[in-house]
Amino acid sequence: MASVIVEIVGGKICEMAIETAVHKVAEEAKLVLNFRKDLLWLNKKLTFIRGFLQDADQQSRHKEAVKKWLESIRDIVMGAEDIFEECAVEPQGPHISVTGFFDAESRRTYFSWWIFRYRMGRKIKDVKERIRSNIEDGKQLNLYRQVLSADEALPSTSQIAAVDLKRSYLLPSDSHPVGIESKVDDILNLLNNPAFPVIAVVGMGGMGKTYLLQNVYNKAKERYEKCIWLSVSQSYSISMLQKDLVFQLDRDLSEQIKNSGISDQALAQLIREKLQERRSCLVVLDDVWRAVREEDFFTKLGLPSGNVNSQCKIVVTTRSKVVSTNLNAHMYEMKLMSDEESWRLFCVYAFGGFEENIEPQQQLLKEVGRKIVKQCGNLPLAVKTIAASLANKILDKWELKLRQLEQVIISVGDNDDNIMGILKLSYDSLPARLKACFAYLSLFPEDEQIDPEYLVNLWIGEGFIPAGENQLDVAWDSLHQLVNLCLLEMSEDSDLNFLYSHYDLTKHCKIHDLLLDLAIHISKENKCALSVEEASTNTSDGDGTAWCRVLLAKKDVDDNAISETHPLCLRTFSLSQNMEITSIPEKLFMAMRGLRVLDLSFTNISTLPASVGKMKLLKVLNFRQTPIEEVPKCVRHLKSLLFLALNDSCTTLPAWISELRYLQHLECERVRRIPKGISKLGSLRTLRTWPLQLSNSIQEGEELMRLEDLGNMTKLQELWLVIQNEMELKTMGILANLVKMRRLVVESRILEVGSEIDLPHIPENMRAMKHLESLRLEKFAVPSWTCDLANLRELQLLECECSDYPELQRLPNLVLLFLWRNGRCRELPKAFGKSGGFPRLRFFKIQYFDELEEFPELEEGAMACLEKLVIARCYKVERSRIEVQIKAHNPYINIHFV
């Protein structure tokens, strides 16, 4: 009997086990069979969640429970995004035939694809469970209602008024100075006083000390033989400051000591000797924090200290009066703006002009605006950011902002926390995309000059910018929005004082240190680590929640610190400018499967671990200025890569580079052999080689790219090309297909010495490049359609010998004009001086015009924005007469004769 019972029970258990196993297998099989259906469900749900988070992000105040709940939802979204990106990278499922099934390679591909679907299916299942769990938590805690029914919700993205976001034109930061004219005169007068060899401009953060000194610096350039600007900041290095100082003082000396291993003491002595050779010199030390003695600071740098007979003047900006005292400086204490000055500054950024320019329909805003200005405590940075956030908004939004300001601590005083509360109001009104872009700025060190082109590619790599045909334009628009909202500074300049054969408009971005503090605070609030130490010790916040994203900012780290780092959720990994790092352990990248950005630039890393090739989601890889001499083979497996910057020592590109099908930006400055397959990269926008020499030959069995291959790369926006023979000149018309081109450099090597008659001509059909912003031609006839390029901002004509030029003064957005080497032009066209001509020209240089005698008479309103004019190696020009003529037209133009 017992045996029968055992048999029955055993049978039941066995049956249940089989049933459970079958059920388990069926459930697992569903993960594969329902993969596409589940993916579509997740995509639909993700769209809803993103919209929900965007609405939630508009709320400036949330309870702690709500914040934690929203953080968990953001974690889910990031996990889901990883799934979609992995699926996008993985090739579509194989179509295998019966006969093909017996092929080993086909079977391997087939099974690996099904394994991938199973693995993704499990991830989708996990995300679905987390979504349902969080929705249930939200309902139980009534968090939906708390988020969506807030009575002071800020406008959604769709409601925010559009701003002019053209890439082709952006006003320089602070192009409308208010309330600084008298302060500039004060500093200039102090500089003229020999009793004050060192001057310290002292004031709290956000008062505009740096902006004031920038204006002083620009005006002082005419008075001093040499002007030097050094950004010091909190974590300065004497060695780095010395190198920057030498670079600005003497570039030849800078090259000599570049890798010499010279000591700081010896370099300080060299700097002192070089400064003594100058008749006069101005050195600005911006943003000094540490209260060090002058002998510990100036002497170590190589600057004279306290010598009234010195030809070198030093100006320091600082928040601390103690710094001024310790440096034995004459203190100039900045005062807050007056009520009227604050109002004028507010009008500039809120209305786009001064009070007299306010439109009649905007009069109702004036009363509220004056109350808002009062709440900002007359602090320039607070006034600017609040005013910019209200531009183009209706009265209700102004009144809402006023109520919010009243809830912030009113008195600005000396407390940066109060200022931070005001600045955060501007951040709170941003849409979710711009919030992420702003917080990402915390990655950069204080006073860093940020390359805007690299920055927008970082945003794209991180996933802040939605994918699409116009993704890059949206990224630039995001940058310009932050600039227009005064949350980021953007400027451009051109060094026209040096005798080089070409010049570029150099753009850079910079974030004010108070706004950087805000970005860092926001990043930490969103659980983003900012150093290697934080990443290795704080991968969770104590309750088991993983960090959403870990940002490793530029810190002084070495190989040991890197080897101890074990981040789990890393999206951006930046080791840039850490020269002590020579290698990266192989195991480090094994856990970084979700990495989007890897920046190894300016390090001593000579090889990339093979594990880098496992990071399928990597979009940005930068190893500029490293010892890596060729493109590492592991890069071949990075199928998601959008941005690749190689070191200068990489002189060849492998044929497999064409397999990186999503690549948009390829920076390979020294590469001379371009494989033909690169023309298959249909997404490529930037092919940055200087210059690109094409070939019609086959070398070592590898076919190289030819001129006609460029015609297929219709999304290309930047190109530097050399035309070497008549055959290429005839084929050049194919470039008309590149209608999205923004920056084009074309050099002719057909003639050694050109003349107006036999200079080669640019094909007429290339006028289709209507989006050109920068054009440089060398040894070509100047095409007549140049003056029709409405977006052109930079024009360089080198050895384009002609007796006259087309009507270039008609170009509405031209900022830089450079004319180099023309042996037949006796006088520039009189039309250049017409009223209204060159309306935005800021930099104009003429060099090696052997026959030039006359500069055009300038009518009233001609070249109205001109800042700098350089006339170099034009030996027949009568310097004094032209100088008097131009100064009579505009006394503020900086004129340099070389």
Amino acid identity, residue 686? Answer: T
Q: What pLDDT does 1 receive?
A: 45
Instruction: Check whether 20 has a pLDDT greater than 60.
Output: no
140 class by beta-carbon count within 10 Å (0-12 exposed, 13-18 middle, 19+ buried) = exposed
Q: What is the mean pLDDT of the chain?
A: 78
Q: pLDDT over 90 for what percent of the chain?
A: 17
**Helix orientation angle between 209-220 and 181-192, rounded to the nearest 10 degrees:** 60
CA-closest candidate to residue 390, choices 376, 369, 411, 419: 369
Rounded Cα gap, residues 360 and 343, in angstroms: 18
Rounded Cα gap, residues 338 and 346, in angstroms: 12
Q: What pLDDT does 93 receive?
A: 52
Q: In what helix (H) or strand (E) does residue 819 lie, and over which residues does it extend?
A: strand 816-820
Tokens at residue 341, please?
A: 């000055």
Tokens at residue 552, please?
A: 């490793």
User: Of residues 462 and 126, which shows the higher confidence score?
Assistant: 462
Mean pLDDT value across residues 398-417: 68
Sign of the four-CA dihedral 634, 636, 638, 641: positive
Q: What pLDDT does 545 receive?
A: 44
Sign of the four-CA dihedral 152, 158, 161, 166: positive
C-alpha angle 836/841/843, rounded to 5°? 150
Q: What pLDDT does 27 receive?
A: 56
Tokens at residue 446, please?
A: 């204080």
Mean pLDDT value across residues 266-285: 86
Amino acid identity, residue 400? Answer: L
pLDDT one-digit tens code per residue, 356-406:
666 666 777 888 888 888 888 888 998 989 998 888 888 888 888 888 887
Rounded Cα gap, residues 712 and 682, in angstroms: 8
Amino acid identity, residue 69? Answer: W
- Find residue 211's DSSP bridge partners: none
User: Of residues 450 and 419, which shows the higher confidence score?
Assistant: 450
Strands 506-510 vs 489-493: parallel, antiparallel or unpaired: antiparallel
pLDDT one-digit tens code per residue, 624-673:
989 998 899 999 999 889 999 998 888 888 889 989 989 999 998 888 77
Tokens at residue 504, please?
A: 């570029």
Q: What pLDDT does 174 receive?
A: 47
pLDDT one-digit tens code per residue, 214-239:
888 888 877 888 888 988 877 778 88
Residue for token pair 């005083």: 413
For the chain, count helices (H), then strands (E).
26, 25
Give Cα 832 to chain centroid, integer Å: 35
Strands 702-703 vs 698-699: parallel, antiparallel or unpaired: antiparallel
The answer to whether 554 and 578 are in contact (CB under 8 A) is: yes
Q: What pLDDT does 835 receive?
A: 92
Sign of the four-CA dihedral 372, 375, 379, 382: negative
Q: What pLDDT does 261 receive?
A: 76
CA-closest candidate to residue 669, choices 653, 654, 691: 691
Residue for token pair 């995309």: 433
Is residue 335 very low, low, confident or very high in pLDDT (cuts 50, 70, 90)?
confident
- Find residue 511's DSSP bridge partners: none
Q: What pLDDT does 309 receive?
A: 63
The CA radius of gyration of the chain, in Å to the nearest whole number, is 31
**Which alpha helices (DSSP H) does 302-449 contain, by range?**
321-326, 339-351, 364-375, 380-390, 395-407, 416-428, 432-439
Rounded Cα gap, residues 393 and 387, in angstroms: 10
Rounded Cα gap, residues 600 and 508, in angstroms: 20
Is residue 470 very low, low, confident or very high in pLDDT (cuts 50, 70, 90)?
confident
Check residue 102 and report its DSSP letter: G
Q: What pLDDT does 167 receive?
A: 33
Helix (H, G, I), strand (E, B) or coil at 228: strand
Helix (H, G, I), strand (E, B) or coil at 216: helix
Mean pLDDT value across residues 783-794: 93
The answer to whether 769 and 738 are in contact (CB under 8 A) is: yes
Q: What pLDDT does 881 receive?
A: 84
Determine which of 106-115, 359-368, 475-484, 816-825 has the lowest per-residue pLDDT on average. 106-115
**Omega prior to 675 cis, within 30 of 0:** no
Q: What pLDDT does 459 receive?
A: 93
Rounded Cα gap, residues 826 and 803, in angstroms: 7
Tally of CB atoms within 10 A around 403: 9
Residue for token pair 């920056």: 743
Q: What pLDDT does 2 receive?
A: 44
Instruction: Check whether 547 has a pLDDT greater than 60.
Output: no
Determine which of 149-158, 528-537, 592-601 has the lowest per-residue pLDDT on average. 149-158
Rounded Cα gap, residues 779 and 757, in angstroms: 12
- Find residue 312's DSSP bridge partners: 281
Give Cα 775 to chain centroid, integer Å: 22
**What does each C-alpha distance from 639 to 17, 320, 541 come to in angstroms?**
44, 51, 33
Instruction: Check whether 52 has a pLDDT greater than 90.
Output: no
Is residue 679 very low, low, confident or very high in pLDDT (cuts 50, 70, 90)?
confident
Instruction: Check whether 810 has a pLDDT greater than 90.
Output: yes
Determine which of 530-539, 765-774, 881-890 has the lowest per-residue pLDDT on average. 530-539
669-676 contacts: CB < 8 A, separation 24 or more?
A: 671/646, 673/699, 673/702, 673/704, 674/704, 674/705, 675/702, 675/703, 675/704, 675/705, 676/703, 676/704, 676/705, 676/706, 676/709
